């Protein structure tokens, strides 16, 4: 490692005594001598406590859509601070923000706010199950929907031997999740409408919700096709299952109307979080009036900190910018230019690759063809990515070490970031080729 992480490492030892693993989220722990502590961020750049500067493509897993410490949003947040916080009462501004969301996302006939993506998805699942009076749900293999018991399950593709027949086992992500919930969770591979139909034929009487993230933001940005989403839409109607489109990452990022606009679909319920408030904690569940109105008919929804005046003011301003300025077009353009720059480096070296998802949240994939579901991802060679990512960190480019997490772009990424990133990428690719020359190079190249 070329950077010094001395201060981060020292802090890790100190922090580990007070906080398990020295962090406040398991995903922030990267190893005893690799865990970074942020000092501050500005625009598209982040500085760690050792003073290392990075161009950041993690952006807190997506929230900083305009860039860190965006003055427009921060000024609004400061005004929001003067309002007074939370009152156990609603404020007028909630209506304004909800109305804007409804204008931007046609499926969002009604809106309720929460603080995190997890809370929004929890609410959506509860609403769907209350509405259908059916207790189970379907998750797409490889999908991530937050840190609560109903979704902390995964289809164990890695241990699955397709040649032996059968389907991947369903396993729990976390100790402490009651095993009894397993029977409420079904899995389906993305982009396989026949599989979904078969599942629904057999279990529709118990399945109340189909939970899908059509650009899989925790799975290499693998994308659903329009045809698949349309088929899934019809199947949900046929079997009286609520389609929940989880837009926690894609919402207000891939288009003003989110992935639903991009793919021409309309969810029954949808969830939003990350890009809503440029990092201030706020989320929303939204959807069909008849389903949302279940909250007036016995479905619990709420929370002490829901619509804190700071977050709400930030969301109001952030959504206004995303709605009324070309921010999203600029973000997509940067993302596409970045793909072009990286592609040239890889093409010049004969390295097979492709990009998945949308320019604003790209998955980089070392294969000639994009994966269509998580099963495909597993069959690809991701050693190249895994070897390259820490080299990029050393060169001042902060991408997620796990290849499943996409590269997020914000409005503050500009030409100097692009030039610097492509140059660093070229060096990292060459160093990776050198390191893998006797091992995986053959697999990684054409």
Ligand X SMILES: Cc1ncc(COP(=O)(O)O)c(C=O)c1O
Chain positions contacting ligand X, by CB under 6 A: 61, 116-118, 121, 144-147, 213, 217-218, 246, 248-249, 273
- Rounded (10°) angle between helices 309-324 and 71-83: 150
Least separation in angstroms between residue 41's CB and ligand X is: 18
In the complex with ligand X, the residue whose CB is nearer, 52 or 250, is 250
Least separation in angstroms between residue 159's CB and ligand X is: 24
| The pair of three-digit structure tokens given for residue 335, joined into one six-digit string | 């993302």
In the complex with ligand X, the residue whose CB is nearer, 200 or 284, is 284
Q: Which residue number places its CB atom closest to ligand X?
A: 117
Least separation in angstroms between residue 188's CB and ligand X is: 16
Backbone conformation region of residue 247, classed left if phi is above 0, alpha if psi is from -120 to 50, else beta: alpha
By CB atoms closer than 10 A (0-12, 13-18, 19+), residue 82 is exposed
Q: Which residues 6+ apart lie within 8 Å of 213 measured at CB?
A: 140, 143, 144, 145, 245, 246, 247, 248, 249, 250, 259
Least separation in angstroms between residue 163's CB and ligand X is: 32
In the complex with ligand X, the residue whose CB is nearer, 144 or 384, is 144
Least separation in angstroms between residue 234's CB and ligand X is: 23
Least separation in angstroms between residue 144's CB and ligand X is: 5
In the complex with ligand X, the residue whose CB is nearer, 19 or 78, is 19
CB atoms within 10 A of CB 121: 28
User: What's the Cα-to-Cα distance from 430 to each of 107, 294, 298, 348, 384, rounded to whole Å?
Assistant: 46, 57, 60, 11, 11
In the complex with ligand X, the residue whose CB is nearer, 5 or 314, is 314
Helix (H), strand (E) at residue 271: strand 269-272
User: What's the Cα-to-Cα distance from 41 to each of 45, 48, 64, 106, 399, rounded to whole Å?
Assistant: 6, 9, 10, 34, 15
In the complex with ligand X, the residue whose CB is nearer, 356 or 421, is 356
CA atoms 402, 274, 304, 151: torsion sign? negative
| The pair of three-digit structure tokens given for residue 304, joined into one six-digit string | 């002490």
In the complex with ligand X, the residue whose CB is nearer, 56 or 213, is 213
Minimal CA–CA distance to 64: which of 44, 83, 48? 44
Residue-wise burial string across 298-331, b where 16 or more C-beta atoms lie within 10 A, e elsewhere? ebebeeeebbbbbbbbbbbbbbbbbeeeebbebb
By CB atoms closer than 10 A (0-12, 13-18, 19+), residue 287 is buried
Least separation in angstroms between residue 302's CB and ligand X is: 17
Least separation in angstroms between residue 153's CB and ligand X is: 14
Between β-strands 207-212 and 242-247, what pairing exists: parallel, antiparallel or unpaired?
parallel
Least separation in angstroms between residue 326's CB and ligand X is: 25
In the complex with ligand X, the residue whose CB is nearer, 212 or 345, is 212
Least separation in angstroms between residue 9's CB and ligand X is: 26
In the complex with ligand X, the residue whose CB is nearer, 140 or 332, is 140
* DSSP track, 53-98: EEEESSTTTTT-SS-BT-HHHHHHHHHHHHHTS--SS--HHHHHHH
Helix (H), strand (E) at residue 246: strand 242-247
In the complex with ligand X, the residue whose CB is nearer, 215 or 327, is 215
């Amino acid at each position: 490692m070329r950077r010094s992480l001395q201060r981060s490492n020292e802090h890790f030892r100190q922090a580990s005594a007070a906080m398990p693993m020295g962090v406040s989220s398991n995903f922030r722990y990267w190893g005893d001598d690799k865990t970074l502590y942020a000092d501050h961020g500005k625009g598209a750049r982040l500085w760690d406590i050792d003073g290392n500067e990075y161009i950041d493509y993690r952006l807190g897993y997506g929230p900083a859509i305009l860039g860190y410490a965006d003055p427009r949003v921060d000024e609004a947040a400061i005004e929001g601070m003067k309002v007074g916080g939370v009152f156990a009462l609603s404020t007028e501004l909630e209506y304004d923000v909800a109305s804007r969301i409804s204008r931007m996302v046609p499926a969002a006939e009604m809106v309720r706010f929460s603080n995190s993506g997890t809370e929004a998805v929890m609410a959506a699942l509860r609403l769907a199950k209350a509405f259908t009076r059916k207790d189970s749900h379907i998750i797409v293999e490889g999908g991530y929907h937050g840190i609560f018991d109903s979704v902390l399950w995964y289809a164990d593709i890695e241990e699955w031997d397709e040649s032996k027949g059968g389907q991947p086992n369903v396993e729990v992500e976390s100790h402490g999740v009651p095993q009894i919930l397993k029977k409420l969770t079904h899995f389906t591979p993305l982009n396989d409408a026949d599989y979904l139909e078969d599942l629904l034929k057999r279990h529709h009487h118990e399945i109340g919700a189909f939970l899908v993230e059509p650009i899989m933001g925790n799975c290499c940005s693998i994308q659903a096709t329009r045809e698949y989403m349309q088929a899934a839409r019809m199947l949900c109607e046929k079997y009286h299952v609520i389609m929940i489109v989880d837009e926690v990452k894609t919402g207000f990022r891939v288009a003003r109307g989110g992935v639903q606009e991009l793919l021409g679909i309309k969810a029954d319920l949808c969830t939003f979080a990350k890009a809503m408030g440029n990092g201030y904690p706020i989320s929303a569940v939204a959807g069909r009036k008849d389903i949302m109105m279940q909250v007036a008919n016995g479905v619990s929804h709420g929370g002490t900190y829901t619509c804190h005046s700071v977050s709400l003011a930030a969301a109001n301003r952030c959504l206004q910018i995303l709605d009324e300025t070309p921010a999203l077009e600029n973000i997509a353009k940067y993302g596409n230019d970045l793909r072009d720059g990286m592609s040239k480096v890889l093409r010049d070296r004969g390295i097979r690759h492709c990009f998945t998802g949308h320019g604003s949240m790209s998955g980089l994939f070392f294969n000639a063809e994009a994966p269509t579901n998580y099963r495909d991802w597993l069959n690809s060679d991701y050693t190249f990515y895994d070897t390259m990512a820490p080299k990029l960190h050393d060169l001042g480019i902060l991408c997620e070490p796990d290849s499943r997490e996409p590269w997020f772009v914000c409005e503050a990424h500009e030409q100097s970031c692009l030039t610097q990133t492509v140059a660093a990428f070229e060096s990292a690719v060459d160093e990776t080729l050198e390191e893998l020359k006797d091992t995986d190079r053959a697999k990684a190249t054409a």
